Amino acid sequence: MSVEVIRKAYQATEEGFLSVVTKQWPMNPQIAAVGSCCLVGVICGDSLYVANLGDSRVVLGRVVRATGEVLAIQLSSEHNVSIESVRQEMHSLHPDDSKIVVLKHNVWRVKGLIQVSRSIGDVYLKKAEFNKEPLYAKFRLRETFKRPILSSEPSISVHELQEHDQFLIFASDGLWEHLSNQDAVDIVQNHPHNGIARRLIKVALQEAAKKREMRYSDLKKIDRGVRRHFHDDITVVVVFLDSNLVSRASSVRGPPISVRGGGVPLPSRTLAPCAELGSS
């Protein structure tokens, strides 16, 4: 495991999806406007590798020894042009395009179309040959472009896990739109492990309903397609860390492992003991 291995995995994913788009373009040209954020966490020994494309986020819950409180530590950086530094990055990468980022309906968007500056897919903003008819007019740019507008290069960081690290919250921006890092960490810390991802989603939806001055029960009744007008999609994975496994991993080094199929037993130190998933 290394930063370069993760970078190559992202590149292979991007190239694989581009191949799908190229093959399907004649029959299904709208696939050129399909894209995704991609957030990855890999625990190897006592190291946590975090890679991100787009605006999903991973937050660590760490106990402060002196006080016993659990501190929220954000481990990923986001690629959303609502963040000034990301807008500056886009301007520096495209100095000859004054409209690379546009404020539209009070929301910053790349070319007035999309909020993220990096993604898997979205090839209509990466290769000009896919930004033309029969792609829907709302996705087509008036002027052609010679180099990719969006990037598929992930931000990757490596963190050494510590004895007091309790859990990791991986979530799409739909959660962080309604909950702060510390709010999410407090919820996980103060409730049972079982069902905790679903609980986070419910709290976020309750906040979304409150902002719309409606009841949570009424929001839940709205068809999911229509509900995108009320809140973004939310996916949450909570991984609980066993401090004994983490500390043991720092002192015990086993042989390298190659996993090529299902049913291969892995040493316990390479796995978190519990992962709780939820999606809305």
**218-258 confidence digits (pLDDT tens):** 556 566 665 555 556 789 999 999 876 655 655 555 444 33
Q: Within a domain: residue 258?
A: no
What's the rounded mean pLDDT across residues 55-79?
92
- The encoded tokens of residue 280 equal 């809305």
The order of strands in the sheet holding 155-160 is 38-44, 47-53, 155-160
**40-61 confidence digits (pLDDT tens):** 999 998 899 999 999 999 999 9
Q: Give the DSSP letter of residue 30.
A: G
**80-89 confidence digits (pLDDT tens):** 999 999 999 9
Q: Within a domain: residue 219?
A: yes
Specify the 3-state DSSP secondary structure of 167. strand
Q: Within a domain: residue 235?
A: yes
pLDDT over 90 percentage in the chain:
62
Residue 260: the pLDDT is 34
Q: Within a domain: residue 270?
A: no
**138-166 confidence digits (pLDDT tens):** 999 988 898 999 999 999 999 999 889 99
Residue 274: the pLDDT is 45
What's the maximum distance between 2 C-alpha atoms anywhere in the chain?
62
Q: Within a domain: residue 268?
A: no
Query: Could you tell me which of 33, 47, 45 has the C-alpha nearest to residue 3?
Result: 47
What's the rounded mean pLDDT across residues 171-185?
92
Query: Which band of pLDDT confidence, cut at 50, 70 and 90, is reported for residue 216?
Result: low
Residue 242: the pLDDT is 81
What's the rounded mean pLDDT across residues 14-24?
96
Task: Give ∠ CA 170-220-78 in degrees, rounded to 5.
Answer: 25
pLDDT at 266 over 60: no
SS3 content of the chain, % helix, strand, coil (to 5): 35, 25, 40
231 phi/psi in degrees, rounded to 5: -160, 155
In total, how many domains does the chain have?
1
Q: Compute the mean pLDDT over every residue in the chain, rounded to the nearest whole number.
A: 84
Q: Within a domain: residue 50?
A: yes
Residue 127: the pLDDT is 95
pLDDT at 270 over 70: no
Residue 208 contacts residue 201 (beta carbons within 8 Å): no
Distance CA 159, CA 49 (A): 6
Q: Within a domain: residue 227?
A: yes
Distance CA 210, CA 138 (A): 32
Evaluate the omega torsion of the peptide bond into residue 265 and state whether it is cis, within 30 degrees of 0.
no
- Domain range for residue 186? 3-250
Q: Within a domain: residue 257?
A: no
What's the rounded mean pLDDT across residues 179-185?
95
What's the rounded mean pLDDT across residues 12-36?
95
Residue 267: the pLDDT is 43
CATH number (domain holding residue 42): 3.60.40.10
Q: Can you spell out the DSSP letters for 218-278?
A: HHHHS-HHHHTTTS---EEEEEE--HHHHHHHHH---------SSS----GGGS-SEEEEE
pLDDT at 116 over 50: yes
What's the rounded mean pLDDT across residues 171-187?
92
Beta carbons within 8 Å of 65's beta carbon, 6+ residues apart: 164
Q: pTM here?
A: 0.81
Distance CA 83, CA 63 (A): 29
pLDDT at 124 over 50: yes
